[in-house]
Amino acid sequence: MPRGGPSGYVRRDRGAWMLGGLSAGGYGAVDIGLRHPRLFGTLESWSGYYHPFRDGSLRHARPAQLAAHDPMLLTKREAPLLRSLGTRFFVSCGSTHDLGNAVLALAFAVRLSALRLPHLLWLRPGGHDGAFWRAQLPEALLFGLTGR
């Protein structure tokens, strides 16, 4: 069998590579992707947040370290490169039972719009739970694979 499975083909171009996560993992996906902008074509945050918390590895972080992991600041810094690479963002959140994160998702989408970065904001009724994430999975995958 050829490498890469039955089809023998694994896309190696960054446009086909996605990084995503839910909740804190959504923050992590966007943070990592923005600090390594040449690796992934699509960054997805499902019910994530967009400012670092003093928690985990950033528990004792100094202000400069927090700024280095702040997606709101990183998108502005990296916007020209992200535009030239065609990096896309999928930002989703439940709008009825996760209102705090929905406000953050909307603010991040506004930032992406202002920076002319391609994105899809997917706000739908739901909460911070598996039912919401399963419901948005087809849209997230379609966006990540095709940009639509």
Give 11's pLDDT tier (boundaries 50, 70, 90).
confident
Q: What is the pLDDT of residue 7?
A: 61
27 within some domain: yes
Is residue 62 classed as helix, strand or coil in its secondary structure?
Answer: coil
Q: What is the CATH number of the domain that holds 118?
A: 3.40.50.1820
The sign of the torsion formed by the CA atoms of 80, 89, 70, 11 equals negative
Give 5's pLDDT tier (boundaries 50, 70, 90).
low
Q: In which domain, by residue range, is 123 found?
A: 14-146
pLDDT one-digit tens code per residue, 38-80? 999 999 999 999 999 998 889 999 999 999 999 999 999 999 9
Q: What domain count does the chain have?
A: 1
- Distance between CA 60 and CA 54 in Å, rounded? 7
pTM (two decimals): 0.91
2 within some domain: no
In the chain, the percentage of residues whose pLDDT exceeds 90 is 84
Q: Which long-range contacts (CB under 8 A, 24 or more apart) does 26-30 make?
A: 27/52, 27/71, 30/71, 30/89
9 within some domain: no
Is residue 29 classed as helix, strand or coil in its secondary structure?
Answer: helix
| CA-to-CA dists, residue 53 to 22, 82, 85, 121, 145, angstroms | 16, 24, 29, 23, 30
